Structure formats: C-alpha cells, structure tokens
Structure 1
Amino acid sequence: MEGTIVRRVIPSDNSCLFNAVGYVMDHDKHKAPQLRQVIAAMVASDPTQYSEAFLGKPNEEYCAWILNPEKWGGAIELAMLADYYGREIAAYDIQTTRCDLYGQGKNYHERVMLIYDGIHYDALAISFYNGAPEEFDQTIFTVQKDRTIGPIERLALNLAMEQQRKRSYTDTANFSLRCGVCQIGVVGQKGAMKHAQATGHVNFQEFR
C-alpha cells in the first residue's frame, strides 16, 4: 500500500461527527442535516430496539433532539451510521489511543476511520502523495479475513499516538469551559451539564 495517513479537519460546528462520517463514506463534509434525518427515521421506525433504555431519553424526544444542529453525536449515533452504511466505523481516541469499532460482528466487508480528541471528530484518509488533493483520498478500506484492514491500522494507531504525545486532545473530565451566555467558568463535562440543567444555557467554549 502506497501513501500516508492524513487527518482531514472537519469544521467545529456541533455536527463534526456527522460531517466526518459523511466525508469518509461519501467524500462530503456537509452531510450532517441528512445524516441526522437518517438517524431520526431509524429511531422512529423501531421504538422497541431504540427504547428509552438504549437512547437515554424517550424515543420521540430523542428524534427531536438529534435533529437539532446544536446537539453532538456520540457512540449511539456511530453505531447507527455503521448499520445505515453497512460498513464498520473505527474511531481512534487520541487521549487513550483506544480504537472503538462500530458495526463489529456484523460481517461488514469495509471500514472507515475517524479520530477523536475528546470533543471533536475528524476524518482519517490515505493520501497517495504529499499534498494530494482531498478528492484523491482513500477513505474506505477492505476488511480482510482476519477482520483487520492490514497495515493501515498500524498507521492510524501511530497517528493517534503521535497526537497523544503532542497532547492534541481535550481531557473532558478536567478541561475548563466558559458559558457563552453568562460567561461563568465551569470544569469538565459534568460541570457543563450541571450548569446547563440549572440555567438552560448550552453554549460552552473551551478556554485554557
């Protein structure tokens, strides 16, 4: 296999997960509205599978929530998008260098890769030469008999480890956030959630 692994940056607009998936699946960084609709339709069509226990909120409430462009996606949405596309989605976590694989065990024959810094998802691709245009990126890889995608996995892990060494991640338990509405500082996801529940404010920015 020729080429190098590259991190394709997705805009930070609360829809990075969906746009990163759109890029690796369809070479389209603007698929968030469509993929939110896809997930809402999947959830609404099967309230038994997508129960409150699974979603963390009632089925109908979740559907309205996921269609809101301000809301972030996570593991539940990645699992659903893997099923929608019929491909595995590997998400590399920079802080832990762990790889979470969605769609595993379903005998899908292809895999795409994302990288996650604690609050943001970017896309991973193979670029065939240095500075090659994004339209030449390879983002879909064949899953082999041993259920790996061969040497590309090592390249992805190496990239995650290099980003970890550079501390290119956000420690979501301890990072500092400021409320964009009232400018109050909070610590970590728990602090942000507590403030949001108390005030209804959901616009937070990280600050160091």
Structure 2
Amino acid sequence: MDGTVVRRVIPSDNSCLFNAVGYVMDHNKNKAPELRQYCLLVLSWHKLPRDGVCACAIELAILADYYGREIAAYDIQTSRCDLYGQDKKYSERVMLIYDGLHYDALAMSPVAEAPEEFDQTIFLVHRDRTVGPVEGLALNLVKDQQRKRSYTDTANFTLRCGVCQIGVIGQKEDVEHAQATGHVNFQEYK
C-alpha cells in the first residue's frame, strides 16, 4: 500500500466527534448538526444516559450503526484502539484519533502534504477483521503522537476556575466543582 496515514485536523468547536465522523464517512467536516440530532433521537428512543466519556462511546456506536461501518478510535495517550460496530461484522472501517479532549480524522494520503481531496478514509475489512497495512501505519502515527505527548491527560491536568480562581486537578474535580458551583469557565494552567 503506497501512501501514509495523516491526521486531518477538525475544528475545536464542541462538535469535533461529529465532524470527524462526517469527514471520514462523507468527506464533510460540517456534519455535526445532522449527526448530533440523529444521536439525540436514538438516545431518546432508548432512554440512554449521555454523560462525559461514556456519551462519546455511545455516540460512536450509534454512528457506526448509522453508516453501517466500523469506527476505529485511537487514543493517543494509551495507543489503544476502540472499535465500534465490530459485533455487526461490517465490511468497511474508518479511523479517528483522540487526544483526551478532541477528535480528529485519520486518512490515507498519497503523501503527507497532499490535499484532502486525495484522502482515502474508508477501508475494506479483511477476513481476519483487520484493514491490512493501513492499521499498522495508523498505529505508528498514534505512537509518534504519544512520544510527542500530543494528548491531554484528563485525569491529571490542572485547571483554574475562571470565576472564582480555585484550582482543580483532573476532569473529576472539574466536574465536581462545576456541579457544586455552576461555574463552567476553566482554563488549563501549569
């Protein structure tokens, strides 16, 4: 397989998961309204909870079913790959990369600098349930990002409340402070 796996940056606008899925499925980075609405509809039908990291996993499973394709989500910090839709044995797979707070798209490109219109984002799943060499290339990219510490450690990052200036450590304390005070304006600090 000629080419390289590249990370296609999705804007940080609180819709990155949906827009990343839109890009790998439809080459469209503006699918968030449609895909978010569909997920909310499915969640309301099944009365499923929608909170935090669990919500992203549920939404990725819903979107895998919606498109009839597996979604591989690579976590930079752990280099783990979570696969959604694999129980359905779909014949195609797409790939995302997650940095602890944000999702971007992964694509196969003829060269790293090639324009996005040359991206291949949908890959055939082989009998051994892999997508062949592209899987190794994706994992190499993820491990390279991990070596560069291109992720946010949500369990241990330090934040300061923009309202009362209290410092908190990690997502758990962030959520607890927000629930206790109603404050939602936090900035990372070191």
Q: Return closer, same or farther for 1:26/1:188 CA change in 2, 3 Å cut-off.
A: same
Identity %: 74
| C-alpha contact (below 8 Å) 2:6/2:112 kept by paired residues | no
Partner of 2:72: 90
Secondary structure of 1:105 counterpart: helix
8 Å Cα contact 1:5-1:125 kept in structure 2: yes
**Structure 2: any 5+ residue segments left out of the alignment?**
none
**After superposition, where does 1:110-121 map in structure 2 within 5 Å?**
110-121=92-103
Which of 134, 138, 148 does residue 156 from structure 1 map onto? 138
Please, what is the CA RMSD of the aligned residues?
2.0
Of 52, 73, 84, 1:102 maps to 84
Q: Is it true that 1:167 corresponds to 2:149 in the alignment?
A: yes
Equivalent-residue separation in structure 2 for 1:13 and 1:73 (angstroms): 17
Residues 1-208 of structure 1: pairs in structure 2 closer than 5 A: 1-44=1-44, 46=45, 50-51=46-47, 55-56=48-49, 74-208=56-190
Q: How high is the TM-score relative to the length of structure 2? A: 0.92
Gaps of 5+ in 1: 57-61, 67-71
Alignment check: 8 A CA contact 1:18 1:36 kept? yes
Compute the displacement of 1:105 (Å).
Answer: 1.5
Distance 2:164 2:122 in 1: 43
Write the distance in 2 (CA, Å) between the matches of 1:16 and 1:207: 23
**TM-score normalized by structure 1?**
0.85
Q: Which runs of 4+ in 1 moved over 6 A?
A: none
Matched position secondary structure for 2:30: coil
